[in-house]
A and B are shown apart, each in its own frame.
Chain A
């Protein structure tokens, strides 16, 4: 079953065309990463899906229902977490979660809240006012809040923005579990490493337009040309550049060259070739693509 069906969606604000003609679908249990630079329209798209903005044109179906006609019962299974942690500072973490659980008619709140707080290592902060918490802890509580209703559809706008790498890892693991259990996840991010790590499907947005949509491996097939910089202790002969011409090798300095490999697994071959020609490799640096480069290549 399609959990999201978006067809020719456009969203226009008085002074800006935020989304133009976006079309994509996501199946139940899909983990879709929406990636794009600032101003690409990621947040606007998520807010349309969360029912906060009305589409200017086009159709948006969520869990099989038109977004403007979605029933209260279906809405109880949709969670949205915006780019701000969106918690009430004067209330405790527990009170915040309790409030949202009342709006979602969550049964067995205590057990669920405790379980989530344990998962995100936030149980010690449940009795504290949100205003007293660090930015990262607030984000943990916000995530607990977003998961309290056991959503069928989870809409997250840069949820890992303020999390340390370990909690980000916990978040990714929990979200993958949720997706495996049938929850559809829309995850907007600007961090490419997240795309590689968690995505199964990807929607690439730029200036309000869908640049590419599909399986991660298809979308990034052009991106696997990882650029590596290789430094030797001695001078690199021109013969090395000739030998590595199929990798578009370029000289960066007397003892450093850059090469484009299709996969990181090809790097040892490149190093071996350099060694054969007398180069003593002392450093290899992979330069990852940034989002703008991806858009240039994929778009």
Chain B
């Protein structure tokens, strides 16, 4: 395998993505909104959260001790409730780019010239995966840093310690590359068979739904976001990614792709 070929494809794809504001602006704007507005809004709203509201919303009693109801409310929302939303970042970003990966080449009629070069199927596939994976992970880390910055800054005066990163968010951050990889693998498979980008996006949305549920498992009370849960999740996601990628390499047939 020629790493330069993989690099060339991913670099080309990234250049294409970041030269189209129609693609990259929504991809950046929505997570940015999440990273800045949500923590600031949470801190602001928490000021009005009395014990009754905290109890009603969180279905739990404010613990006795030094924490006031608004501080508890704030901490709970900033760390537990918004965590799952943060975990959807790598999934959404990855699926937007991956849906375009192969279907876009076909739709823009560039697939034939690309596949007639000395590049192998595996190299094209890895290049395409990399061009979805890198922005997804980079965006997740960036959004996390901004989110943590805003959350820490706006809630700083209420806590005697730095709220983020905590162990839960660190585990979420660790899980995000695997979430992205599993998503990309599935969406690339769809993109390989789809007739166009729209079709790839529509089918991918359905396919990615089960992955989007994962971050909300704790919200639904199915599992607790413990260290053990994350370790199990990492193993499952890594195995799923490996299977999906192997399947992608096996199913990638130039002729079928061009003529489908």
Instruction: Name the A residues within 8 Å of B112 (CB-CB).
Output: 47, 50, 52, 80, 82, 84, 86
Instruction: Name the A residues within 8 Å of B115 (CB-CB).
Output: 52
CA A82 to CA B112, docked complex, whole Å: 7
Instruction: Name the A residues within 8 Å of B258 (CB-CB).
Output: 47, 52-53
Query: How many whole Å from B241's CB to the nearest CB in chain A?
Result: 26
Instruction: Name the A residues within 8 Å of B15 (CB-CB).
Output: 90-91, 95
CA A53 to CA B109, docked complex, whole Å: 16
With contact pairs A52-B255, A52-B258 given, residues A100 and B110 touching in the complex (Cβ less than 8 Å):
no
Binary per-residue interface labels of chain A (55-72) against chain B in the complex, 1 for a CB within 8 Å, 0 otherwise: 000000000000000001
Binary per-residue interface labels of chain A (75-88) against chain B in the complex, 1 for a CB within 8 Å, 0 otherwise: 11011111010111
CA A54 to CA B115, docked complex, whole Å: 13
Query: How many whole Å from A131's CB to the nearest CB in chain B?
Result: 10
CA A159 to CA B109, docked complex, whole Å: 16
Of residues 218 through 255 on chain B, the ones whose CB sits less than 8 Å from some CB of chain A are 254-255
Query: How many whole Å from A107's CB to the nearest CB in chain B?
Result: 13
**One of B4-12, B60-68, B76-84, B88-96 at the interface:** B4-12
CA A89 to CA B107, docked complex, whole Å: 12
- Contact in complex: B113, A91 (CB < 8 Å): no
Cβ of B108 within 8 Å of any chain A Cβ, yes or no, is yes
CA A104 to CA B116, docked complex, whole Å: 11
Query: How many whole Å from B24's CB to the nearest CB in chain A?
Result: 11
Instruction: Name the A residues within 8 Å of B114 (CB-CB).
Output: 86, 103
Instruction: Name the B residues within 8 Å of A105 (CB-CB).
Output: 2, 4, 118
- Contact in complex: A88, B116 (CB < 8 Å): no
Cβ of A51 within 8 Å of any chain B Cβ, yes or no, is yes
- Contact in complex: A103, B108 (CB < 8 Å): no
- Contact in complex: B119, A91 (CB < 8 Å): no
- Contact in complex: B254, A91 (CB < 8 Å): no
| Chain B interface main SS type | helix
Tally B residues with Cβ within 8 Å of A: 27
Of residues 73 through 122 on chain A, the ones whose CB sits less than 8 Å from some CB of chain B are 75-76, 78-82, 84, 86-91, 95, 99-100, 102-105
Query: How many whole Å from B12's CB to the nearest CB in chain A?
Result: 5
- Contact in complex: A13, B110 (CB < 8 Å): no
B5 partner, pick from A51, A80, A103, beta carbons under 8 A: A103
CA A129 to CA B16, docked complex, whole Å: 11
Query: How many whole Å from A186's CB to the nearest CB in chain B?
Result: 13
CA A103 to CA B110, docked complex, whole Å: 14
Residue of A nearest to B16 (CB): A90
With contact pairs A88-B12, A90-B19 given, residues A50 and B108 touching in the complex (Cβ less than 8 Å):
no
Instruction: Name the A residues within 8 Å of B11 (CB-CB).
Output: 99
- Contact in complex: B118, A103 (CB < 8 Å): yes
Query: How many whole Å from B100's CB to the nearest CB in chain A?
Result: 11
A88 partner, pick from B7, B110, B119, beta carbons under 8 A: B110
- Contact in complex: A100, B117 (CB < 8 Å): yes
By a beta-carbon cutoff of 8 Å, the part of chain B in contact with chain A is: 2, 4-5, 7-8, 11-12, 15-16, 19-20, 108-110, 112-120, 254-255, 258-259
Residue contacts A-B, CB under 8 angstroms, 26 given? A13-B259, A47-B112, A47-B258, A50-B112, A50-B116, A52-B115, A52-B255, A72-B120, A75-B118, A80-B112, A82-B109, A82-B112, A84-B109, A86-B110, A87-B113, A88-B108, A89-B108, A90-B15, A95-B15, A103-B5, A103-B114, A103-B118, A104-B117, A129-B19, A145-B113, A155-B116
By a beta-carbon cutoff of 8 Å, the part of chain A in contact with chain B is: 13, 47, 50-54, 72, 75-76, 78-82, 84, 86-91, 95, 99-100, 102-105, 129, 142, 145, 155
Q: A75-B118, A104-B118 are in contact. List 11 more A-B contacts (CB 8 A).
A: A51-B116, A53-B258, A86-B109, A90-B15, A90-B19, A91-B15, A99-B11, A103-B8, A104-B117, A142-B113, A145-B113
